[in-house]
Amino acid sequence: MTSTAASRAYGTDSTFASFHDGLALIGRVLLAYLFIPAGWGKLVGFSGVAGYIASKGVPLPEVAAAIAIAAELGLGLLLLVGWQARRAALGLAVFVAVITPIFHPFWSAPEAQHMMQKLNFDKNLAILGGLLALAAFGAGRFSLDAMRGKA
């Protein structure tokens, strides 16, 4: 492989690096778009969320709702601006991994809900994959982490 081809393959060419950083920004914004409004909705509808969590058999539903708000709203905002993005993505990945089988148990869902629960379960696995990739590769140059030299 020539040095030019190697630099393009590994993202060291400035054009390709800018492209990759742009993709990282778009990815962060889209992931944040999922979590921030969900966290805000939980915050303003706290009692209803706690009731729903309780209906799933989760102990201490108010605490669980507060954790969900902190994860979705707090970590989602960190992801959006790219501050501590690797840690925020990893935290959200753990959150998604824990809640997915609790709230989307397609294997025990009634027949009428099976397909929708399976779809949401699979969607969450894909989101988990995106979060793990962000945790592995960082927020990119267009982030607060990059401004601090931590991207």
The answer to whether the pTM exceeds 0.95 is no
**Selection from 84, 68, 73, 69 nearest residue 32 by Cα:** 73
Question: Element (H or E) spanning 84, and its range?
Answer: none
pLDDT tens digit string along 72-111? Answer: 999 999 999 999 999 999 999 999 999 999 999 999 999 9
Sign of the C-alpha dihedral, residues 108, 97, 35, 139? negative
Confidence check: pLDDT of 13 > 70: no
DSSP state of 56: T
Residue 86: how many CA atoms within 13 Å on its side-chain side?
9
Mean pLDDT of 63-78: 98
